[in-house]
């Protein structure tokens, strides 16, 4: 158990809908990352927050947005969903990302299926 929790574990929805994925980082970790894992794209970085502020953006679509709240939990919002958004979405956390050697601890993921 990494200490990172994600809810829900599974999500089935229809095209055009909007969903929210939730992540609670490990106790003491200030940085949260979101990754998408799909068969064709592999593991891709979406976005990072550090202590409530956006730190870095990756291949995140404009239909997707995220935020980190004062209690440090984070939410990833996916809207106008398309079939291609079906994937496993991981949240990871680390204490302080500065330098790059810190370990990122991954949650169990949310499996999203868009029908």
The CB-of-87 to another protein minimum distance in angstroms stands at 14
Which residues of this chain interact with another protein, rule CB under 8 A?
A: 2, 4, 33, 35, 42-45, 48, 55-56, 58, 90, 92, 97-109
- Our CB check for another protein shows the closer of 78 and 105 to be 105
- Our CB check for another protein shows the closer of 75 and 111 to be 111
Dump strand ranges (E) for 1-115. 5-7, 10-13, 19-24, 31-38, 42-50, 53-57, 64-68, 74-78, 87-94, 105-106, 110-114
- Our CB check for another protein shows the closer of 47 and 81 to be 47
Q: Which of 72, 48, 67, 69 is nearest to 58 (CA)?
A: 48
The CB-of-8 to another protein minimum distance in angstroms stands at 14
């Amino acid at each position: 158990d990494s200490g990172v929790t994600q809810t829900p574990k599974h999500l089935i929805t229809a095209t055009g809908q909007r969903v929210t994925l939730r992540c609670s980082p490990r106790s003491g970790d200030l940085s949260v990352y979101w990754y998408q894992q799909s068969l064709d794209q592999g593991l891709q970085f979406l976005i990072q927050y550090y202590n409530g502020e956006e730190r870095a953006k990756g291949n995140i679509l404009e239909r997707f947005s995220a935020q980190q709240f004062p209690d440090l939990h984070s939410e990833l919002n996916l809207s106008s969903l398309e079939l291609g958004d079906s994937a496993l979405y991981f949240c990871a956390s680390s204490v302080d990302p500065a330098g790059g050697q810190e370990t990122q601890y991954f949650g169990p993921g949310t499996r999203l299926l868009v029908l």
